[in-house]
Amino acid sequence: MKLFRKREDKIVDVDLHDLEVESGNRLEHLPGWTQKTVAVVAIVWTVFQVYTALFGLFPAMIQRMTTLSFGLFLCFICFKLKKNDINKVPIYDWILAIVSVALDVYIIATFDTLTKRGGNPTQMDIICGIVLILLVLEATRRAVGKPLVIVAVVFLLYAYLGPYLPTAISHRGYSINRIASQMFLTAEGIFGTPMSVMTTFVFSFVVFGCFLEVTGGAKLFINLAFALTGKFAGGPAKTAVVASALLGTISGSSLANVVTTGTFTIPLMKSCGYDPSFAGGVEASSSSAGQIMPPVMGAAAFIMAETTGIPYLSICISAAIPAVLYYMCVMLSVDFEARRCKLKTVAKEDVPPLLPTLKRCYPLLLPIATLVGMLCMGFTPLKASIYATIVMILTSFLSKETRLNGKRTFEALTKSAYNSVTVCVACAVCGIVTGVITLTGLGLKLSDLILTASGGSLFLTLFLTMVASIILGMGLPTTAKYIVLSAIAAPALVKLGVPLVGAHLFILYFGVIAEVTPPVALSSYAAAAVAKSPNVRTALQGLKISIGAFFIPFMFCYYPSLLFVDTSVSGMISGFYSSFIGMICLCACSIGYFFGPMKIWKRVFIFIGVALLMHPGTVTDILGTAIVIVMYFIQRKEFKKSTPPAAAVE
């Protein structure tokens, strides 16, 4: 799993492999026998997950502890503790890995008596609980980073120091024994909802994505996107948008999208005249939205389904229109920038023909259709993803280009496990956070505090939630920040009338956009490494291109029709009209181009119109529309005698 850290703001002349080494992943540098051992463990883990998905899960605690023990074992072997441990696995890492497995053996061996003891843990249970907490924290520090560990430690201290805290958030306090048993022996701790989802849905979709990757799906999707958009103004940038959307529906990982599509699209954008920072920003903003793009959407969406009780298919349906609006925003920004800079198009002979490209893609489009079809038929995401993977394996033999062989199968099986390590430990440590929230009742207290601070105003509550999500996004992965905020802020939004799915999607959106929001914008820094551009400048360009992500969540909270929650005719018309017009104007305002270049006062003027359209109400809609119409005629009048931008580009 590639991990990226903030680097100083200068051109980064390194490849992505160097960034992975810097993150602490030493897998490729280990001795041959160690790599073979790790590969065997990885394959066994993948086979175990697929087997239980097909033939039935073990009891929850055994299933989740076994999954976690595999993840911890691989983490301690693959991620180093010290910088000079890059070429070896010290004895203490082997000890940590073996202890992780021993805890699983303990759970299996004592499972019957554990269930009978219930809330009466033995001293050995407490010791195992403390050891597991420490192992999870250390694994998280290595694979995810210190910020998430700090959050978990703060929550653990909160559970212990409750009586000594301010009245608004105080509680009676819990002993170390009570905290350890809560985390180790209940389904509301480390083995709670996040680990449950990791054990089932997340891993199966990771397997699906890895088999898609090794059969050449990413390459074919990029070619298909290039065939669809390459001939238009700013074609390479639009290729990046479409390719990232297609790949994002499967991978659900922004960093994977940047690495996979960016190595092709960023150099192509630069060759057509795009500034390297803008090219990196396009790729970062396009790739980040993979986590909000149905039908997969990443781990957070599966946790959302489990947390809210809303069927996963319903969440996908609700997320569809906002995801399309987001990609429309990115596409418009790219188009406006191409016309503003009068960029050249790609030579027609360099663009692959559409029909032959589509024909080459059909062996991999069939599994995706299987996945979507089975979800619509009511199959669980677990079954749908496993059966879609089986279909992919079978259909891969229809084409020599996609055909699986021993090497590709080995790569898919091992990569499925490697790519799951970071998510696994992140879900485990998030279980600590949610366990403390459940134990202390902190979620309701913070929800009330948010409502008090906002004075009951929906806009202020949404704004405070947005700020909190972006701040958490500086150090936490999307899944972790969603879990934390969904327990704290979502109840406040629901109390103010936001639909349950809207409240959780709002949090998820800003968790995603944090990855392109400075100062810590992981996707943007990864794209900057590919584009060889300044980090912060690339992140700012990505933020400008992704401006719609700050607009869309507010829109679907005000207009639930965008989530298919309110399906009244008036609600649908108002929601679509305000969102569509507002999005076009917001992109024009951000790029500084509509029918021609826009001066600052015009951009401010049209932004006011967008703000009015965002707020529901007849008066604000009329005023916002009036401003947009005025700006439309001003622009048309100023540039009616000039050469149309499209012709200038072409």
Residues whose CB is less than 8 angstroms from the CB of residue 214 and which lie 6 or more positions away in sequence, other chains included: 404, 408, 409, 411, 412, 415
Residue 638 domain flag: yes
| Structural domain harbouring 609 | 580-650
39-65: per-residue pLDDT in tens?
Answer: 999 999 999 999 999 898 899 999 999
Q: Assess contact for 302 and 308: CB atoms under 8 A.
A: no
- Tell me the CA end-to-end span of the chain in Å, nearest whole number: 41
In this predicted model, what pLDDT tens digit does every residue of 372-397 receive, in sequence order?
A: 888 888 888 888 889 999 998 998 88
Question: Residue 192 pLDDT more than 60?
Answer: yes
- Predicted pLDDT at 163: 92
User: Of 176, 198, 220, which one is at a domain's C-terminal end?
Assistant: 198
Quickly tell me which residue has 């985390």 as its tokens. 183
- Given this model, what pLDDT does residue 5 score? 35
- Asked if residue 619 belongs to a domain, the reply is yes
In a domain, 596, yes or no: yes
pLDDT for 19 equals 39
In terms of DSSP H, where are the helices of 24-59?
32-55
CA atoms within 13 A on the CB side of 622: 3
Q: What is the distance between the alpha carbons of residues 634 and 442, in angstroms, rounded to a whole number?
A: 53
**Mean pLDDT (whole number) for 597-622:** 83
Residue 208 lies in a domain: no
Tally of domains within the chain: 2
Q: With contact defined as beta carbons under 8 Å apart, do 400 and 122 qualify?
A: no
Across residues 297-322, what is the average pLDDT?
Answer: 87
Q: Is 80 exceeded by the pLDDT of residue 359?
A: no
Q: State how far the Cα of 211 lies from the Cα of 194, in Å rounded to an integer.
A: 24
Question: Which pLDDT belongs to residue 286?
Answer: 83
CB 211 within 8 A of CB 408: no
Average pLDDT, the chain: 83
Task: Flag whether 251 is in a domain.
Answer: no
**Cβ neighbours, 10 Å, residue 220:** 23
Its pTM stands at: 0.80
In whole angstroms, what is the distance from residue 404 CA to residue 422 CA?
27
- In degrees and rounded to multiples of 5, residue 172 shows phi and psi of -75, -15
CB within 8 Å of 647: residues ≥ 6 apart? none
Residue 9 falls inside a structural domain: no
ω into residue 294 within 30 of 0, thus cis? Answer: no
pLDDT tops 60 at residue 14: no
Q: Is the peptide bond between 519 and the residue preceding it cis, with omega within 30 degrees of 0?
A: yes
Furthest-apart CA atoms within the chain: distance in Å: 85
Is the pLDDT at 645 greater than 70, yes or no?
Answer: no
The mean per-residue pLDDT over the stretch 627-650 comes to 67
In a domain, 589, yes or no: yes
Q: What is the mean pLDDT of residues 200-223?
A: 83
Tell me: pLDDT of 20 over 70.
no
Report whether pLDDT(225) > 90.
no
Q: Cα 388 from chain centroid?
A: 22
pLDDT band at residue 71 under the 50/70/90 scheme: very high
pLDDT on residue 104: 94
CA distances from 249 to 235, 284, 372, 415, 601 (A): 21, 16, 11, 19, 39
Which residues face 11 on adjacent strands?
534
The per-residue pLDDT for 21 is 40
Comparison of pLDDT for 99 and 286, the residue scoring more = 99
Backbone Cα Rg of the chain = 25
Q: DSSP letter at 380?
A: -
- Assess contact for 481 and 473: CB atoms under 8 A: yes
206-210, 304-308, 336-340: segment of lowest average pLDDT: 336-340
Task: Answer yes or no: is pLDDT of 649 > 70.
Answer: no
Confidence class of residue 360 from pLDDT cuts 50, 70 and 90?
confident
Identify the domain boundary among 198, 230, 255: 198
- The most confident of the ranges 64-73, 459-468, 529-538, 585-594 is 64-73
From the list 410, 531, 512, the residue with the least C-alpha distance to 16 is: 531
Predicted local distance difference test score (pLDDT) of residue 115: 74
Q: Say yes or no to pLDDT of 15 above 50.
A: no
Q: Is the pLDDT of residue 154 over 90?
A: yes
Residue 250, pLDDT score:
66
For residue 73, give both structure tokens.
């074992």
Q: Which of 9-13, 134-138, 204-208, 562-566 has the highest mean pLDDT?
A: 134-138
Mean pLDDT check: name the lowest of 16-30, 65-79, 256-270: 16-30
Q: What is the pLDDT of residues 439-498, one digit of tens each?
A: 998 888 888 888 888 888 888 999 988 888 877 766 677 788 888 888 888 888 998 999
What is the token pair recorded at 640?
């009616």
pLDDT above 80 for 567: no
pLDDT of residue 344: 67
Show Cβ contacts of residue 245 under 8 Å, excluding neighbours closer than 6 positions.
Answer: 286, 289, 290, 293, 327
Q: Is residue 324 within 8 Å of residue 276, measured between CB atoms?
A: no
pLDDT reported for residue 253: 65
How long is the chain?
A: 650
Tell me which of 183, 198, 213 is where a domain ends.
198
User: Does residue 151 lie in a domain region?
Assistant: yes
